[in-house]
Structure 1
Amino acid sequence: MQLLRSLAISTRLAIQSPWRKKQIQRMSERGEAPMSVLFYHRVADAPVNPWTISNREFQRHVDYCRDNFELISLEEVQRRLESGHSPRPSVTFTFDDGYSENCELALPLLIRHRIPCTYFVTTENVRHGHPFEHDLRLKHPLPINTVEQLKAAADSGIEIGLHTANHVDFNRVHTVEELNKEIVEAKSNLEEMIERPVRYLAVPFGLPEQMRPAVIETARKCGLIGICSAYGAYNLIGDDSFHIRRFHGDPEFNRFRNWLTYDNRKNLRRPTLPTEDVLNITPEVATKNRQPQLAFS
């Protein structure tokens, strides 16, 4: 089944390629080239979970992107969105969670080629070295990045970002206290760990239901300059530069190429984020946090 799906995608790409290339060329001429932001989790040769890509395939992804796109940072994505000018199709690399195996090939590869990358970690897993709950459920606890590894990566040019304190599902957060713990306090804790400013937040799961307005507003107010989703979308001129849209670096190479070969039908299907969602705050929590009127709006 997977082989048939891959062949179908490859065939569709071959048929649509001339049209897609013309579309991208026209967008580039208008200064509206698409900006693709990829996210990965774990690069390793033991595929013990669905969010792992092999070393060989990740190398293939990097080579493909180097050959076909301008490789830029999250900050440059924002700059282009704010200026209203994107001259060439671009790709940006990011990672979520914080698996220590990424230090074996993936990060050294990006560092060697001077490819910008933002690496998002959950502070409590790093602090205590605890495996992720999603790996424990699969009965495959995996090693987590240490503070020393993060500092070394940052010293080599990798930007360290926040992935909350506990890989929280914001769709299940109902108080300001929880929100502050997972974003505001976690940001401060991570800055102390790596002895550097933390500028970006990647929302765990990153679907529209987690991209709640108060999450975005809390990120703004505590000094973060951008927040990343993960529901699969391009960044296009006219988009809000604070919200950076990402899609998965799919281990199936044809699906990976299909996303990177801009398809406007995907853009037309991207969801609308929630605009109203009131927090359920008890008076005690509201008083403690001095935000009695805070709402997801």
Structure 2
Amino acid sequence: MSNFRQLAIDLRRVVSTPCRQLQLRRLSAKGKAPISVLFYHRVADEQPNDWTIPCDLFQEQMEWIRERFDVIDMQEVQRRIRQQDSRRPAVHITFDDGYAENCRFALPYLIRNKMPCTYFVSYGNCVTGDPFPHDVAAGCPLPVNSLDELKALAGTSVEIGYHTRTHCDCGNLITADDFRDEITDGAAEMRAALDMPLRYFAFPYGLPDNIPIAGIQAAYAAGFQGFCSAYGAYNLPGQDAFHIRRIHGDAEMSRFKNWLSFDARKLHQRPEIRYWLPPANNWEQTQELVG
């Protein structure tokens, strides 16, 4: 992003700060303060690419968050949405894929500072050790987490989530067997291999075209308590809590701060994800749900 563009975003945010703060105070008083769920992929200083953020910038972002927001876990995200009880703007941190370098700095930092995180992992890559196809295609295969590294996170502020078996685009899956293998069966195998619960699922790529109704229903059938998209949207109290909307942990601080400072214009830009779930379990009603 050009320096001019960054300056324009920063200027707009600064000028609108009094209005934004007034909006947040009013929403907070009603229990409707927005909840931002961030997603990252890889925190490292070597072999940077479009889905890598440097360690010092990640730490700067986390410290900025800690000073201004409630940092909460995924269950608390859903509780605030369902009960319309969000009295202060909040943030939850997530990661996708399962890059080994995250165990060097990012995850220890979050654990040390008691910042809850959901860490979504593509199971098959952790079993085989094979790099992700998108890294291979980019000519830069990168190491992935092992099952032992994931097991070592048990009991910390990092919760393991599921990210399909092969990091597939679920929008390209066709048959019921495809969805069963990538989501339902793969999740069962990963739970058994790690001997820990997997409560949340994140769709690879995370745009509306990557999130078919059959995939959402497969995640529901697999016993997940919620699924995550990744197209950039706030979570607002009173919305569907089975669908967790996420915002990119942007490497440009101007965009990062603009999103988290609550840019109400973004509310009019989000797409809808419509789906229906079969008979209710303990956390959702039987109805058509609108993302």
* Matched residue, 1:173: 173
CA distance in 1, matches of 2:46, 2:20: 35
CA distance in 1, matches of 2:140, 2:251: 20
TM-score computed with the length of structure 1 as normaliser: 0.91
Code of the residue aligned with 2:27 in structure 1: it is: M
* Matched residue, 2:218: 218
Shift of 1:171: 1.2
CA distance in 1, matches of 2:133, 2:48: 14
Q: Unaligned regions of 5+ residues in structure 1, if any?
A: 277-297
8 A Cα contact 1:209 1:274, kept in partner: no
* Matched residue, 1:32: 32
* Matched residue, 1:43: 43
Give 3-state SS (helix, strand or coil) of 1:39's partner: strand
* Matched residue, 1:136: 136
Q: Which structure 1 residue ranges, 4+ long, deviate > 4 Å from structure 2?
A: none
Shift of 1:156: 2.4
CA distance in 2, matches of 1:137, 1:48: 15
- Which residues of 2 match residues 242-257 of structure 1 at below 5 A? 242-257=242-257
Residue 233 of structure 1 pairs with residue 252 of structure 2: no
Residue 70 of structure 1 pairs with residue 67 of structure 2: no
CA distance in 1, matches of 2:264, 2:14: 16
Shift of 1:274: 4.7
Code of the residue aligned with 1:60 in structure 2: it is: E
CA distance in 1, matches of 2:47, 2:74: 28
* Matched residue, 1:113: 113
CA distance in 2, matches of 1:91, 1:154: 22
CA distance in 2, matches of 1:156, 1:273: 33
8 A Cα contact 1:209 1:273, kept in partner: no
The CA RMSD measured in Å over matched residues stands at 1.4
- Which residues of 2 match residues 1-297 of structure 1 at below 5 A? 2-275=2-275
* Matched residue, 1:285: none
8 A Cα contact 1:49 1:135, kept in partner: no
Shift of 1:60: 0.5
8 A Cα contact 1:34 1:86, kept in partner: yes
Larger radius of gyration: 1
Give 3-state SS (helix, strand or coil) of 2:63's partner: helix
CA distance in 2, matches of 1:147, 1:275: 33
Give 3-state SS (helix, strand or coil) of 1:198's partner: coil
Shift of 1:209: 1.2
Shift of 1:48: 3.0
TM-score computed with the length of structure 2 as normaliser: 0.93
Q: Unaligned regions of 5+ residues in structure 2, if any?
A: 277-291
Give 3-state SS (helix, strand or coil) of 2:118's partner: strand
Aligned-residue identity in percent = 47
CA distance in 1, matches of 2:68, 2:157: 23
CA distance in 2, matches of 1:230, 1:257: 18
CA distance in 1, matches of 2:47, 2:230: 21
8 A Cα contact 2:84 2:238, kept in partner: yes
CA distance in 1, matches of 2:133, 2:214: 25
Q: 1:225 to 1:138 in 2, by over 3 A?
A: same
Code of the residue aligned with 2:202 in structure 1: it is: A
Give 3-state SS (helix, strand or coil) of 1:166's partner: coil
CA distance in 2, matches of 1:204, 1:100: 18
